[in-house]
Amino acid sequence: MFKTFIVLLSLIVCLSSTALAQIKEAQVGNVVSIRSDFDYQDPKELALYEAQKAKQKVDKNNGIDEDEDVVEPEDLFRVYLTRDRFYNSKNKYRENITFSITSHNMDRNYILDGDCPPYLEIVDNEGKKSTLNFSNMKFDNLYWISFSLTKKEIHQLQNIKEAKLILPETMENMFVRNEKKDKIEKRKFNDDIKVEMISYDIPVEILQEWKQVLSADLTRK
C-alpha cells in the first residue's frame, strides 16, 4: 500500500466561461468524436497575470511602453472527457467514453499511476455526495492517465451538480536528470513515495460541458 496523507486543498478557479468553452467535434472516416478540454491554471497565478496584462493596457493607452513580456502561467494539468463512436459498414456502432488527465508541469509532482489513481468527489442533482472511483483504467504513463467509463460512471457524470478532482501529488521532486540521455525525466511511482491527495474544484461550466459531450448527437454525416 502506498503511503497517503489526505490534504484537501480546495482551489477555486476564477475563469471566464468563454475561456472554458473548449468542446471539439470531429468526424474522421467512420469515427465521430466529441471532446471537452479543460486546462487548469493556478488561480492566484492567473489573477496576477490578468492584472499585469490589464496594467500594460492602461500604460499603453497612457503612452507608456514597456518591453517586459507578461508570461501566461503554465497549466497545472488538463482534463479530457472524450466520446468516440465507431461505425461499421451497416451503420451500426459502438461507443467508447474516456476520462483522461495529463500534466507536463515540472513544478508539480503529480502521480498519474494506476496504483495510485485520481478520483472525483461529486454532489448529484439531488444533493447526494459520493466518490467516483474510476474502475476501468485504459492507459497510464508518467504524464497521462486515462479511464474507460462504465455505465454507472457515465450516469454519475450525467447527474452531476458539483465536483472536485482529487489528484495524488508528492512533495518529493519527481523530475531528475538522466545523465546518459542528457535530459530531465520523471521518476516512476513506487510504494515508498509519500503522497498527498490534493483537491481541485471543477467549474460548473466544465460540468455542463461534460453533460453536453455525453448527450451530443453523434450521428454520422
Reported as a single tens digit per residue, the pLDDT across 131-142 is 999 999 999 999
Instruction: Report the distance separating Cα 164 and Cα 64, nearest Å.
Output: 43
Instruction: Say what the pLDDT of residue 55 is.
Output: 85
Instruction: Say what the pLDDT of residue 59 is.
Output: 73
Number of Cβ within 10 Å of residue 8's Cβ equals: 12
Cell of 50: 490578468
Average pLDDT over residues 140-146: 96
Instruction: Say what the pLDDT of residue 152 is.
Output: 96
- Whether 8 shows a pLDDT value over 50: the answer reads no
Share of the chain above pLDDT 70, in %: 89
Q: What's the pTM value of the predicted model, to 2 decimals?
A: 0.84
Confidence bin at 189 (pLDDT 50/70/90)? very high
13 vs 145 pLDDT, higher one? 145
Cell of 197: 491527495
Instruction: Say what the pLDDT of residue 14 is.
Output: 34
Strand pairing partners for 201? 164
Average pLDDT over residues 184-199: 93
Confidence bin at 7 (pLDDT 50/70/90)? very low
Instruction: Report the distance separating Cα 43 and Cα 35, nearest Å.
Output: 24
- Whether 146 shows a pLDDT value over 70: the answer reads yes
How high does pLDDT run on average in the chain? 88
Confidence bin at 66 (pLDDT 50/70/90)? low
Average pLDDT over residues 171-187: 91
Which residue type, as a one-letter code, is found at position 106? M
Average pLDDT over residues 11-22: 40
Average pLDDT over residues 34-52: 91
Which residue type, as a one-letter code, is found at position 23? I
Instruction: Say what the pLDDT of residue 70 is.
Output: 82
Average pLDDT over residues 36-51: 91
Instruction: Report the distance separating Cα 82 and Cα 159, nearest Å.
Output: 17
- Contact criterion met (CB below 8 Å) for 79 and 38: yes
Share of the chain above pLDDT 90, in %: 71
Q: Label the pairing between strands 129-132 and 119-124.
A: antiparallel
